[in-house]
Amino acid sequence: MTDWTTLVVGQFISGRAFFFGIALCLLGCFLKLFFKRTLVHALARITLLTGVVLVVLSAAPFSLWVYGVFFALLAWAVIRIDKARARVEKSVCFLPLLLLLAQTFLIIGMELRRSMPPNIQLGKSDTLFVVGDSISMGADPPGKNWPELLGDLAKLKVRNFSFGGAKVESSLDNARRINRDDALVILEIGGNDLLSGTSIPKFRTDLEKMMSLACGPHRRVAMIELPLPPFCNRYGMVQRALAREHGVTLIPKRFMADVMSTPRATVDGLHFSNAGHALFARALFGMLTHTDSETGAGQPH
Q: What is the CATH number of the domain that holds 267?
A: 3.40.50.1110
- Is 126 found in the same domain as 52? no
- Is 193 found in the same domain as 111? no
Structural domain count of the chain: 2
What gap in Å lies between CA 70 and CA 145, rounded to an integer? 42
227 in Cβ contact with 14 (< 8 Å): yes
How far CA 287 is from CA of 3, 52, 205, 250, in Å, comes to 28, 34, 29, 11
- Is 124 found in the same domain as 111? no
User: Which of 61, 92, 115 represents a domain boundary (last residue)?
Assistant: 115
- Is 227 found in the same domain as 142? yes
What is the pLDDT, as a whole number, of residue 70?
94
- Is 61 found in the same domain as 188? no
Spatial neighbors of 62 by CB under 8 A, at least 6 apart, are 107, 233, 237
- pLDDT surpasses 60 at 230: yes
Closest listed residue to residue 26, CA positions, set 42, 49, 48, 56: 48
What gap in Å lies between CA 259 and CA 87, rounded to an integer? 52
Per-residue pLDDT tens over the stretch 253-267 = 999 999 998 888 998
Closest listed residue to residue 249, CA positions, set 146, 94, 119, 113: 119
- Is 296 found in the same domain as 209? yes
Give the strand pairing for 220-224 and 184-188.
Answer: parallel
Asked, as a colleague might, if the bond just before 147 is cis with ω within 30 of 0, I would say no
Rg of the chain, C-alpha, whole Å = 22
Residue 162 structural domain: 120-300
- Is 202 found in the same domain as 241? yes
**Which ranges constitute the DSSP H helices of the chain?**
3-13, 16-34, 38-57, 64-87, 94-115, 146-154, 172-176, 191-196, 200-214, 233-246, 253-260, 274-285
274 in Cβ contact with 143 (< 8 Å): yes
- Is 134 found in the same domain as 11? no
DSSP 275-301: HHHHHHHHHHHTTEEEE-TTT--EEE-
- pLDDT surpasses 80 at 83: no
The residue-averaged pLDDT of 162-177 equals: 95
Query: Across the chain, what does the average pLDDT equal?
Result: 89
- Is 179 found in the same domain as 273? yes
Per-residue pLDDT tens over the stretch 273-293 = 999 999 999 999 999 987 544
Query: What is the pTM assigned to this prediction?
Result: 0.88
Per-residue pLDDT tens over the stretch 125-155 = 889 999 999 999 987 777 899 999 999 999 9
